[in-house]
A and B are shown apart, each in its own frame.
Chain A
Amino acid sequence: MDLATLLPFVVNVIAGGLVLGFVYAIIALGYTMVYGVLQLINFAHSEVFVTGAVVGFEVFRVLAPSPLNGYLKLIIALLAAMLVSGLLNVLIERLAYRPLRNAPKLVPLITAIGVSLILQDVLRIIEGFQGRFDLTYTLPAGFSGKFCGEGSSCEALGNVLRTVGIDLQLKDVILIVVSLLSLAVLNYLVNRTRLGKAIRAVAQDRVTAGLMGIDANRMISATFLIGGALGGISGVLFGMKFGTVNAYSGFDPGIIAFTAAVLGGIGSIPGAVLGGLVLGVIQNLIGVTNIFGGLLGIANLEAIDASYQRIGAFLVLVLILIFKPTGLLGKSNVEKV
């Protein structure tokens, strides 16, 4: 096995990992936003994100026969998912977390787990009424094709990328673009607007922010709305990336995204993105160790198969929490949203 053939392969794995990483990054942002203001791991976020995926699936399914442009369909799906997930998240906060603001920390954590279980079954029942369990995304034609494939106007660019070893599908590129766009919007919202300023103030010190005339409860609701909307986006992206979603499929990506948030330094927006990207690459690398093992003739590596990917994420989590609990980008006084 020489370097010339191995290199494009490695580049491809890393590129694939980055694409995956963007999905995790957007989910991780949902965790990090909520953690930033409430110091609460919103266990229900994985179900909020699955709800987004389900909404996206329904939109794509309903719009499939219509002659609309594929990108328009995607935008509609994204908006619908953002709306539903955002409102759901606000509702969850209102019903399950707000009444417990003054309770010991363990208490809202337990309701979060409860809400997560309830949502799983509710989703299963709702989709079950139509006789569905595993939802298979039917993407608009062309989305699954190669990015800048033969005959397209940007064929040259595609060829250059493929020579380097990056072999992307159109949906992967869309995924990256949507992620970057939502990151930019989020960044603007949190750092440049009055709302963002108020949210940051509440995250820093709820009581003092209240004294300055900021309604903490409204700002927390706003945070949940934004976090939920991000969850909706990531749900649609997840559905596009993996093709199938079911009511219980939020657990794995939820855990990985949470790990990403911790890895980057929980409460820090750039940290969540960095953590997501790193974990995406790590996961893809673990996923292909058996191929590497086969290529390099190491029999033991072949035994490490995809089911260990999850363990990989947990090991990263354990190591990070032991050796650098503040995460990669976290400062010693934990950065808030």
Chain B
Amino acid sequence: MTAVNPAAPRRALPVPDRTFLLVLLFLLTSALLLVSHNPDGLERLGGLGDTLRNPIVEAVIVSLFLANVLFAYLWRAAPWAKALVGLGSLLLVLPWAGQQDTSLLDLSIQIMIFAALALGLNIVVGLAGLLDLGYVAFFAVGAYVWGIFASPRFAEILRYYGENPGGTNAATLAFGLFLTAVTAASMVYIRRRGARTAPTRASTWSFGLASFGLVAGILLVGRALLVLNASRAAGLANGIDPNFFWLFLALSVFAAAVVGVLIGLPVLRLKGDYLAIITLGLGEVIRVLANNLDLYSAGSQGITPIRSASVPWFDRAAGALGFQPDQYYLLFLYVLVLVLVALILLVNVRLDRSRIGRAWIAIRDDEIAAQAMGVPLVQTKLIAFATGASFAGVMGMVFAAKQTFVSPESFNIFQSIGVLSMVILGGMGSFPGVILGATVVTLLNLRILPGLGEATANVPWIPQQVNPGQLQRLVFGIILVAIMLLRPEGLLPNRRRVLELHHDDNQEDDSAHGVGPALTAGGGDVFSPGLAPQHEEDRAGGTKGETR
């Protein structure tokens, strides 16, 4: 009934060379895209122009154009053609068409942001096998880090602290620094000593006390800094200098990774479904905090306006290419996300082949076996969490700069599930697949469904309730269920994954499962989340000192 085909063996048959077809298609769709996004050209085309302006037709053209890049990856063609199509599409044609219609640039940035998010979640879900339903929380961290500092919000926070300094003064700062240094040093000391012996109750307690002191110290320092700088609020009415963008790009990575570790530490001892629900919960906690900490996040109204970086030479170059000044920042962000996605992809590929990547896959396949072979569970999972989180953090920052507005509404669980459906649609564990999934889902979400909705809005026999523009949940749900039922390896599968998922179809021996197929796991000992955390440290090769 599952209707899954056995994994087709890789045939060695010669694949036809499609260089000519690829280039032809590229030229055709590029021409279509350029024409359909050029208002003057559309005017001259008359009736045909009106057809091209139709939102559905437009969505189809954009999809076709983006399909080029996919074909360049999939088809067998001459390397020069692949490079031409890939680079030409992304660096030449898209910005060119975007010059006439900035919504196209906006869409491309959005797609790439989600592609990066999906690549990050792919590490957590696809490689390490940890279902994270609160992933968008890290995105929110990145967005708010930049949002608070690059907007009038920061001046208001300073003003508030200026009016309510309490007893804070320079001495507080000194004390805070002292406390931070002492507690950090004592934590390191306790760790060093604990590394050689098993943790005792005294060491656990003193470590806890020291970490509490560290948090208190950092809070004191932060507060003192805010109070002491309160007089500069007036000078920061529009947020900090946009040149700090680059520093914050690093900071947002760091902040999201730290939040990832903080969320991960308590929850990563749990398995599968428990982890899912608790990450979902912690994601919601971050959203509720953003909604309620009015001083820092402006509550449900959101923060606006958020500035982007200023890069004068880039602006001049864009101007020379014929872009309008109000398009500079979009073009800049477009190039930035392109570079970032390329970097993230590179990091992903390198990580996947590294020791850590193999440890992730080992954990995904069989946690106990992996641990027995000396993979430190918690540490490896934390790295997965932090890596995924840091990608989300940096993209959150770009998102804030692009929207010039952040509000808690952009970070609800529905967004997390949206990213999850991208990973699942494309194929868990497969990088090109995940990017394809992100593209398809984002296109569906931002162009195709709204386009269909607009087109059917005035059709009398289609009631408003089933307007496709509002059916995102239904569509996401169907994607999740249908992919899992029909093609669990996703659209562009990872080869290893296919073998695993269709394992039962073409192999008799299921020793690779470790505990056999799920059916025999009815006792649930191994998978029982309620049990596992207790035994974890008792197992051989476990993490002795790191899991405090």
- Give A contacts to B, CB under 8 Å: 39-41, 96, 99-111, 113-122, 124-125, 128-129, 202-208, 251, 255, 258, 262, 265-266, 305, 307-308, 310-311, 313-314, 317-318, 321-322, 325-327, 330, 332-334
Give complex CA distance A326, B504 in Å.
Answer: 33
Contacts of A208 in B (CB 8 A): 522
Q: Is the CB of A118 within 8 A of B478?
A: yes
Q: Is the CB of B480 within 8 A of A105?
A: no
Q: Is the CB of B528 within 8 A of A102?
A: no
How far is the CB of B293 from the nearest CB of chain A, in Å? 10
Q: Is the CB of A318 within 8 A of B266?
A: yes
B479 within 8 A of A: yes
Main secondary structure of the interface of A (DSSP, over half): helix
Q: Which one of A258, A305, A327 contacts B277 once the chains associate, using CB atoms below 8 Å?
A: A258
Q: Is the CB of B527 within 8 A of A111?
A: no
A-B contact pairs, 6 of them (CB 8 A): A100-B485, A113-B420, A115-B481, A117-B477, A310-B284, A322-B266
Give complex CA distance A108, B2 in Å.
Answer: 13
- Top 7 nearest A-B pairs by Cβ distance? A114-B480, A117-B477, A128-B465, A118-B477, A314-B281, A206-B522, A121-B474
- Give B contacts to A, CB under 8 Å: 1-2, 125, 129, 131, 133, 266-267, 269-270, 272-274, 276-278, 280-282, 284-285, 288, 291-292, 413, 417, 420-421, 424, 463-466, 471, 473-474, 476-481, 484-485, 488, 500-501, 504, 517-524, 527-531, 533-534
How far is the CB of A156 from the nearest CB of chain B, in Å? 45
Contacts of B278 in A (CB 8 A): 314, 317-318, 321
Q: Is the CB of B529 within 8 A of A107?
A: no
Q: Is the CB of B272 within 8 A of A109?
A: yes
Residue in chain A with minimal CB distance to B271? A105
How far is the CB of A289 from the nearest CB of chain B, in Å? 14
Q: Is the CB of B281 within 8 A of A39?
A: no
Q: Is the CB of B480 within 8 A of A266?
A: no
Q: Which one of A104, A115, A118, A307 contacts B288 once the chains associate, using CB atoms below 8 Å?
A: A307
Given contacts A118-B481, A124-B465, A326-B530, contact A110 B272 (CB under 8 A): no
Given contacts A99-B485, A111-B480, contact A117 B417 (CB under 8 A): yes
Give complex CA distance A205, B524 in Å.
Answer: 9
Q: Is the CB of A318 within 8 A of B281?
A: yes
Given contacts A106-B272, A109-B131, contact A120 B473 (CB under 8 A): yes
Give complex CA distance A114, B478 in Å.
Answer: 6
Q: Is the CB of A41 within 8 A of B523?
A: no
Residue in chain B with minimal CB distance to A41? B273
Contacts of B125 in A (CB 8 A): 106
Q: Is the CB of B518 within 8 A of A110?
A: no
Contacts of A203 in B (CB 8 A): 522
Give complex CA distance A271, B464 in Å.
Answer: 45
Q: Which one of A102, A314, A317, A322 contacts B519 once the chains associate, using CB atoms below 8 Å?
A: A102
Q: Is the CB of A205 within 8 A of B484?
A: no
Q: Is the CB of A101 within 8 A of B518?
A: yes
Question: 11 extra interchain contacts, Cβ-Cβ under 8 A, other than A105-B518, A204-B522, A308-B292?
Answer: A41-B276, A41-B277, A99-B485, A105-B273, A110-B420, A113-B420, A117-B474, A311-B284, A314-B282, A314-B284, A334-B531
Given contacts A105-B273, A117-B473, contact A39 B524 (CB under 8 A): yes
How far is the CB of B79 from the nearest CB of chain A, in Å? 37
With most chain B CB atoms within 10 A of its CB, the pick from A113, A128, A317 is: A113
Give complex CA distance A334, B480 in Å.
Answer: 30
How far is the CB of A316 from the nearest CB of chain B, in Å? 10
Residue in chain A with minimal CB distance to B529? A325
Q: Is the CB of A103 within 8 A of B518?
A: yes
Residue in chain A with minimal CB distance to B291? A307
Give complex CA distance A124, B484 in Å.
Answer: 24
Residue in chain B with minimal CB distance to A125? B465
Q: Is the CB of A332 within 8 A of B531?
A: yes
Contacts of A108 in B (CB 8 A): 484
With most chain B CB atoms within 10 A of its CB, the pick from A106, A109, A116, A203 is: A106
Give complex CA distance A258, B284 in Å.
Answer: 15
How far is the CB of B262 from the nearest CB of chain A, in Å? 12
Q: Is the CB of A310 within 8 A of B517?
A: no
Contacts of B281 in A (CB 8 A): 255, 313-314, 317-318
Q: Is the CB of B274 within 8 A of A334?
A: no
Residue in chain B with minimal CB distance to A327? B530
Give complex CA distance A217, B253 in Å.
Answer: 48
Q: Is the CB of A334 within 8 A of B474?
A: no
Residue in chain A with minimal CB distance to B273? A41
Give complex CA distance A308, B287 in Å.
Answer: 11
Give complex CA distance A330, B534 in Å.
Answer: 14
Contacts of A333 in B (CB 8 A): 531
How far is the CB of A271 from the nearest CB of chain B, in Å? 11
Give complex CA distance A116, B295 in Å.
Answer: 35
Q: Is the CB of B530 within 8 A of A99?
A: no
Residue in chain A with minimal CB distance to B416? A113
Q: Is the CB of A114 within 8 A of B484?
A: yes
Contacts of B269 in A (CB 8 A): 322
Give complex CA distance A91, B332 in Å.
Answer: 51
Give complex CA distance A119, B481 in Å.
Answer: 12
